[in-house]
Amino acid sequence: MVDQTSTDENTEGRVLFSQLLRNPYEAMLLQLHDGLAAAGFADSSPAWGTNIFHYLREGGLRLTELAERSHTSKQAMRYTIDQLEEAGYVERVPDPTDGRAKIIGLTERGWHSRRVSDEIIASIEQECVQKLGEGKMRQFEALAKEVSSVLRENRARG
pLDDT digits over 33-52, tens only? 999 999 999 998 877 766 68
- Say how many C-beta atoms besides its own lie within 10 A of residue 52's C-beta: 26
Read off the pTM: 0.79
pLDDT single digits (tens) 40-94 = 999 988 777 666 887 887 789 999 999 998 888 999 999 999 999 999 999 999 9
Q: Does residue 81 contact residue 56 with C-beta atoms inside 8 Å?
A: no
φ, ψ for residue 43, nearest 5 deg: -85, 0
Class of domain 17-157: mainly alpha
Q: What φ, ψ does residue 41 adopt, rounded to 5°?
A: -115, 50
DSSP 84-123: HHHHTSEEEEEETTEEEEEEEEE-HHHHHHHHHHHHHHHH
